[in-house]
Amino acid sequence: MTDTATGALDAAEFSAADAFMRRLLLIPSAPRRVRERDVQRMFSTGIFLSALRCLLSYVVLPFLGPVLGVAGGVGPAIGLPLAVVALYFDVLGIRRFFVANHRSRWQMTVVYAAVMALVVALMVIDIADLAH
């Protein structure tokens, strides 16, 4: 049965895709109540960290780095750890949407996947920069 307040589904109503994602994300089969505020906070944290990583690596450090006397190769050294943390929080965010059986879990998974793809692409660029 669907919870009209949150759009959440009972465990018996999981689609095959939902069941697959729940197994992939190591979520127990019994639905758990999660506050909407907690879901939104996790989403905001993951997206904020991804944005902060991009802002520091591609805006702040390239332009302010020389002014502040920071070497040019510092961007990847800062960007890679931030990217790993951002990806971790992005996965936690997806997991939180599925734990809550949030009505927008699939739409948010698409948003997270796009952000994560961008962060991984930027990590590859940073690794290539560090290798040279």
pLDDT tens, residue by residue, 11-51: 557 899 999 999 999 998 766 677 778 777 877 887 887 78
Range of the domain at 88: 11-131
- The tens digit of pLDDT for each residue in 93-127 reads 899 889 888 889 999 999 999 989 988 998 998 89
Q: How far apart, in whole angstroms, are the C-alpha atoms of residue 93 and residue 65?
A: 32
In a domain, 1, yes or no: no
Is residue 65 within 8 A of residue 113, CB to CB? The reply is no
pTM of whole model > 0.85? no
Q: What is the pLDDT of residue 125?
A: 86
In a domain, 5, yes or no: no
Q: What is the pLDDT of residue 81?
A: 87
In a domain, 4, yes or no: no
In a domain, 35, yes or no: yes
DSSP 8-state assignment for residue 69: T
In DSSP terms, which residues pair with 29 in a beta bridge? none
Which tokens sit at 14? 């999981």
Q: What is the pLDDT of residue 1?
A: 43
Q: What is the pLDDT of residue 6?
A: 44
Q: How far apart, in whole angstroms, are the C-alpha atoms of residue 99 and residue 21?
A: 10
In a domain, 105, yes or no: yes
In a domain, 20, yes or no: yes
- The tens digit of pLDDT for each residue in 57-71 reads 777 777 776 676 665
- The tens digit of pLDDT for each residue in 38-49 reads 777 877 887 887
Three-state DSSP class for 9?
strand
In a domain, 99, yes or no: yes
In a domain, 2, yes or no: no
Cα→Cα distances 52→56, 58, 80, 84, 99, Å? 6, 10, 12, 12, 26
Q: How far apart, in whole angstroms, are the C-alpha atoms of residue 92 and residue 45?
A: 10
Three-state DSSP class for 35?
coil
